[in-house]
Amino acid sequence: MQISGRDSNRYQTFTRRAALLAGVQGAAFLALAGRMYYLQVLKTDQYRMLAEENRISMRLLAPLRGNIVDRFGRVLASNRQNYRAMLVSEQTTDVEATLTRLSRIVEIDDFRKRRILRDIARSPRFIPVTVVEGLTWEQFAQININEPDLAGILPDVGETRDYPYGEEFAHILGYVAAVSDADLEQAQREDHRLLKLPGFRVGREGIERTYDRQLRGTPGSSHVEVNAYGRVIRELSKDPGKPGQELVLTLDLDVQRFAWERVKGESASAVVMDIHTGDIISIVSAPAYNPNLFNMGYPTAEYRKLLESPYLPLLNKSLAGMYPPGSTFKMVVAMAAAEAGISPSQRVHCPGHYSLGSHDFHCWKRGGHGAMNMHDAIKYSCDVYFYDVARRIGINAIADMARKCGLGQTYDFEVPGEKAGLVPTPEWKRAARGEVWHQGETVIAGIGQGYLLTTPLQLAVMTARIANGGYGVVPHLTRALGGELLPTRKAEYLGISEQALAIAQGGMNGVSNEPGGTAFRHRISEPGMELAGKTGTAQVRRITRAERATGVIRNEDLEWRQRDHALFVCYAPVHEPRFAMSVVVEHGGSGSAAAAPIARDIMREVLLRNPGPPQANMPPGRGNSSGAG
């Protein structure tokens, strides 16, 4: 076993070097083991955390939006199951074929199809894309039954906002709509993830917008395990979040529906409020729109119709419609006159017109009313009496009283879009137009024309303040939020004298309950339910001297836009007032013919549904009126 000599020295070198290489290998393996010890023992906590961050992804869960209910807890807005079909493109070999088969069950037009294909192209293949929403139960069931034929189609149930009464509450509740870029800009940073959830809706109009945060609720979260491509493998934990708060409104569903039935078909609005608390019992504006359609995107053709309609269905006329108050303003002028020292019994002769300088102002009654005291002037709505009184007390006295009655201002009402209207003064005219005030403008202000502008809500407030004995009641729409009663503003005493209030109340009683009153025909005759009202007919065009001479054209002969606005304000019951209301029928003609019957019917309904404490058999017309004559 001997190694030949010539090989021996290279063998020794080889052995030496082999030993060296073995050492190198050993050292290298020690280094590897050391590195593993460093990673897997010393740094393991840090890397474990990073691995968890990789693996676990938090998904927000949209909270259920809070219900909106009426004063008795009846649902006005809630969430309804939204049957929809999603498509997972990785589960089908041919997306087009699947859509074609689906279109045998649900109609999918070309526009919709293009949008679906675009959505699919944009998202990863395992992400479900919404194909159709708002399916009927029959369609949904059909899709479920045919699922084996519809490769890639995933039937799914989501939540969507539902307004069971549609148009009746459209202008008050408003609607929810998809989140816009502007919403994102306004939202706080921490809300962004919620707002970006697919299918999330925000309150866009009305109460839905005002109370959006409270109705929205607190989002829940779900911790899911995801793979490197973001695909969810399984759910690890779930926090359902907190649903939005329930909002209780002051509205009465039945009255609201009744009022809607009564005004629909007209371009009109009606407001009913509690004169003591300011609770709005009913507030309608016609025509309206279907808020349910905004949820999924209003069909374009339908929306264009809304935009182009001359009756402005998108406008909430009760808050944002501004009208000259017409004769409904006469109580304000009467009270201002009484405060200014004009005796209610002092008579003014009405020959049918009133001259100021070279200009003639006409009374609506061609032959004139004859000698009028303040009570009769309201009852018969004599224009000449108020021309004269207005000129004598001046515009500033009228404006002061108008503001006390709640005109020319907003009330921080819960529904956005409220308009302040206009109570004109010489200062206003100088500032706004740079012109001096003319006495003729004071004269026409006496009958609620000229620059005066009011909203139906303001007219209801004005009437309520007259009826409640001069307290500055403020209208509001919400009673409770999340089970907590909302504070109401205390009505301040306005400092209107009892005498002034009594003359206004008595005049209104005369209008409705005394024969010859302008709304006597449209009174409530049931004992204890009588109302006190005031008609108003606001002229929207100028009647020329020539037309006066040949005879004023009757409203029915004018085109719609040229006709007078018909107004009516009232409160009831006359002897123990609880409710006040206003009705405005745009271009409806005369207040007594077009607006008074509507107001009477609605008020009657309100009283029937809210029977007050039993009243003694009080004869009609007595009430608390002192100025009756």
Partner 1 sequence: MLDLRRFTGHDMRLSEKLGEFNWGFLLLLTLIASMGFAMLYSVAEGNFSPWALRQVARFAAGVCIMIIVAMVDLRFWMRAAYPLYAVALAMLIAVEIVGFVGMGAQRWLNLGVISIQPSEVMKVTLILALARYFHGLTLDEVSRLRNLVIPLGMIGLPVGLVVLQPDLGTAVLLIASGAILLFAAGLRWRFFIFAGIAVLAAIPVLWSRLHDYQRNRVLTFLEPERDPLGTGYHILQSKIALGSGGVLGKGFMEGTQSQLNFLPEKHTDFIFTMLGEELGLVGGVVLLALYFIVLMFSLNVALQCRNQFGRLLAMGVSMTFFFYVFINTAMVMGLLPVVGVPLPLVSYGGTSMLSLMFAFGLLMSVHIHRNLEISRGPSAFW
User: Which residues contribute to the site for partner 1 (CB under 8 A)?
Assistant: 1, 3-4, 6-7, 9-11, 13-15, 17-18, 21-22, 25-26, 28-29, 31-33, 35-37, 39-41, 43-44, 46-48, 50-52, 54-55, 225-229, 233
| The pairing of beta strand 68-69 with beta strand 247-249 | parallel
User: 112 burial class (0-12, 13-18, 19+ CB within 10 angstroms)?
Assistant: middle
Q: Which two tokens stand for residue 404?
A: 């006390």
- What residue type is assigned to position 175 of the chain? Y
Give dist(CA 573, CA 527) in Å, integer.
Answer: 9
| The pairing of beta strand 129-132 with beta strand 75-87 | antiparallel
Cα atoms in the Cβ-side hemisphere of radius 13 Å centred on 495: 4
* Helices 383-393, 395-404: inter-axial angle, 10-degree rounding: 100
Give dist(CA 107, CA 296) in Å, integer.
Answer: 16
* Helix or strand (DSSP H, E) at 584: strand 579-585
Place of tokens 């290489």: 21
- What residue type is assigned to position 557 of the chain? D
Residues 6+ apart with CB under 8 A from 327: 381, 383, 447, 448, 534, 535, 536, 537, 567, 591
Peptide bond into 573 cis (omega under 30): yes
**How many residues are given for the chain?**
629
Q: Give least dist CB 14 to partner 1, A.
A: 6
Nearer to partner 1, 234 or 490 (CB): 234
Question: Residue 290's closest CA among 409, 142, 170, 450?
Answer: 170
3-class DSSP state of 342: coil
Q: In whole angstroms, how far apart are CA 539 and each of 445, 465, 498, 588, 591?
A: 12, 25, 32, 11, 11
3-class DSSP state of 51: helix
Q: Do 395 and 425 meet the contact criterion of CB atoms below 8 Å apart?
A: yes
Q: Do 276 and 467 meet the contact criterion of CB atoms below 8 Å apart?
A: no
Q: Where are the alpha helices (DSSP H) in 434-574?
A: 439-445, 456-467, 498-513, 545-550
Q: What does the radius of gyration of the chain's CA atoms come to, in whole angstroms?
A: 37
Residues 6+ apart with CB under 8 A from 68: 75, 76, 77, 78, 173, 207, 208, 215, 246, 247, 249
Q: Give least dist CB 60 to partner 1, A.
A: 21
Give dist(CA 572, CA 531) in Å, integer.
Answer: 4
Q: Which two tokens stand for residue 153?
A: 């189609």
DSSP state of 242: B
3-class DSSP state of 184: helix
How many helices and strands (H and E) does the chain possess?
24, 23
Nearer to partner 1, 47 or 72 (CB): 47
Question: Residue 85's closest CA among 34, 26, 157?
Answer: 157
Nearer to partner 1, 74 or 125 (CB): 125
User: 105 burial class (0-12, 13-18, 19+ CB within 10 angstroms)?
Assistant: buried
Q: Which two tokens stand for residue 13?
A: 């070198």
* Helices 330-339, 498-513: inter-axial angle, 10-degree rounding: 150
